A and B are shown apart, each in its own frame.
Chain A
Amino acid sequence: MARHHGWFGDPAIWAAVQLPTAGSLGVVICTPLGQEGVVAYRGLRLLADQLEQRGIASVRYDPPGRGDGAPSDDPQAPVNGARSAAALLRAAGCTQVAFVGLSSAALLASAAAEPGDLVVLWSPPQSGRQWLRRARSLATIMIGADRTFEGVESLIGIDLTPDQATALASISLTLPGEADALVVRRPGESAPSALAAAEQLELAGTAEFLDTSSVSSVMPTEIIATIVDWLAARVIDSAQVLSAPPVADELDLGNAVERVRWIGPQRLFAIECLPKAATPATPMVVLHAGASEHRVGAGDYQVELARLLAGDGAGSLRVDRRGAGETGEVSADEPSLFYTQAWLEDQDAIVQASGVTGERLALTGLCAGAWMAGLPTAAEPRLVVGIHPLEYRVDPAAPNEFVEEVVMPREVSGRVMLWVQRMYRRWAPAWLRRLRARTGSKADPAAFLTGLSKRTWRTTLIFSEIDQEVFRRLGGPEISQRLPGIVLVDVPTIDHPMFARRTRVGVVERIRADVREAFDLAG
């Protein structure tokens, strides 16, 4: 059995291929669009692992224009990407191809499959139009009606040009001629009438898996086992010899090159993006995603940022820390490593792998990633940019300790209590703050901020409204005023997860400006 990661085709898809030693069937696991693809990442990896154990090859991929794929704004790229992934499996020797599509990816699987292919549609929408209506409704509820920025519409975790939206809306779910197909529906969900010929199953678990955040997502083990069994029963030749797929381990971006790297003792999966003119003096920026999300970041902002930074003259590493993306093994009951020592050890490994001294190093991260970036690591970075931070603990949590909810610190009222609060914030010794942080629900940010002020030339903290309010109630602005090198940026948005392009563009431009200034880059 072998795993291959890299790029394929032109414009290139990014692909993760898992090959058994032999077997005729290869499965294209189509990537759901936007945040669905981020939340489903580990579950679809579990599907790939279980297929591999049954002698079935698979490919998971990012199409051109999404995730780690090559840049593209072709409206047909999502469907063509699925076809390119199938071609990759055939090049490895697979003589049977199946397409699996979850939710929005069911549209892509249906559109990409050819007569004779196997098709598994998991919680398919009624049509492209219905998917788009649902996605637009969800986006309006979560980020507001003003979702269009510079002509591009933001849905949850994906931006669409008008042409891309039209192309997706035009997909009607059908089965190619003679396709052997399985439809897995949610309880109460109806399947499109055009899929009537498919075998239909109603199974619970999709809502708990997909309609939530990456932190709270529950692996749909029964559904995955059902799909694997269905596909395994259709393997024609288990002795079919397979060979290494033709994936490239570099992506040429013109002025920059991206490479796959495996970092440290935990073999953290990473993609390094370097300017072609990089030298040992080229600064490196470490990009930490938020929550349990993988390296591309919300709405792929880490990929966009990495490629823009390369144009500015800075390299970057975007990494799957433990529990995310391609790193480590996947299991249905993997522990939550939120805010744990394991993440800090991962950061140490990443910093060491960056190959630069602290004077040439910047750390950035969103939310949980901002917590990592803000704590001591193997080198003292010149620059830290924390995006939408919510946590300031300096003592790591135990595995599974973190519960996903924003705890708003209590507001103090009354003259005496306000005086006590003011005195505490000004004079409380470190030991008292640490004790209170351990016993209270939210850590005092003083130790966190003081450490950053001492270690960095500059720390920029960018706040959306909710994290700004948490910071304010914790006394963060007053503490920061006394500390050199701490810069606070308030952005009037409710978009903490950075789903809206407007939010992401602002953050990306701020980071680029800070990096250019910190490392004296011309840009």
Chain B
Amino acid sequence: MSDNTYGDRLAIREALQQFGRLNQAVSDLSDEADLFAAGFTSHATVNVMLAIEDALGIEFPDELLNRSTFVSIDALAHAVGMSRGER
């Protein structure tokens, strides 16, 4: 795992802990766990997205604003990469 990826996932987990309003601790969730099954809501996805953007200095493009972007920590990390123009 690159430093970038590690840092991204840390920021994602912190944003989820702060704004995700999940029904279980983020530390108990694997990177693949379904966040919607853990109580993630539409409002919370946006709050988490804005926190990630602030923390990492990126902006999610509109085409990533759909449910599949927010389904797991893995998916969010992939979206962060896409937002930086990484494939």
Give me the interface of A with B, judged by CB distance under 8 Å: 130, 133-134, 137-138, 140-142, 145, 187-188, 207, 211-212
Contact = CB atoms under 8 A, between A and B. Distances in A.
B19 A140 contact: no
A70 to B, nearest CB: 31
Nearest to B43: A211
B53 to A, nearest CB: 9
Interface in B30-58: 41-47, 49-50
B63 A141 contact: no
The 5 closest A-B pairs by CB, nearest first: A211-B43, A140-B65, A188-B18, A138-B46, A137-B46
Nearest to B45: A141
B66 A141 contact: yes
Nearest to B18: A188
Contacts of A138: 42-43, 46
Contacts of A140: 62, 65-66
Contact of B44 (A130, A137, A211): A211
Contacts of A145: 62-63, 65
A211 B47 contact: yes
18 contacts: A133-B50, A134-B50, A137-B50, A137-B65, A138-B43, A141-B42, A141-B45, A141-B65, A141-B66, A145-B65, A187-B18, A188-B19, A207-B43, A207-B44, A207-B47, A211-B21, A211-B47, A212-B43
Nearest to A208: B21
Contacts of B70: 141
Nearest to B70: A141
A145 B43 CA distance: 16
Contacts of B21: 207, 211
Contacts of A141: 42, 45-46, 65-67, 70
B31 to A, nearest CB: 21
A187 B43 CA distance: 16
Nearest to A138: B46
A187 B65 CA distance: 25
Nearest to A125: B50
Interface residues of B, number: 19
Contacts of A133: 50
Given A133-B50, A140-B66, A211-B43, 5 more contacts: A138-B46, A140-B65, A145-B63, A207-B21, A212-B41
Nearest to B50: A134
A137 B49 contact: yes
A130 B50 CA distance: 9
B18 A134 contact: no
A153 to B, nearest CB: 12
A230 B39 CA distance: 35
Interface string B7-25: 0000000000011010000
A211 B41 CA distance: 9
A134 B21 CA distance: 17
Contacts of A137: 46, 49-50, 60, 65
Contacts of B66: 140-141
Max chain A CB contacts within 10 Å: which of B42, B49, B66? B42
A212 B19 CA distance: 14
A133 B62 CA distance: 10
Contacts of B60: 137
Nearest to A133: B50
A211 B50 CA distance: 15
Nearest to B60: A137
A138 B62 CA distance: 11
Contacts of A187: 18
Contacts of A207: 21, 43-44, 47
Contacts of A212: 41, 43
Contacts of B42: 138, 141-142
Contacts of A130: 50
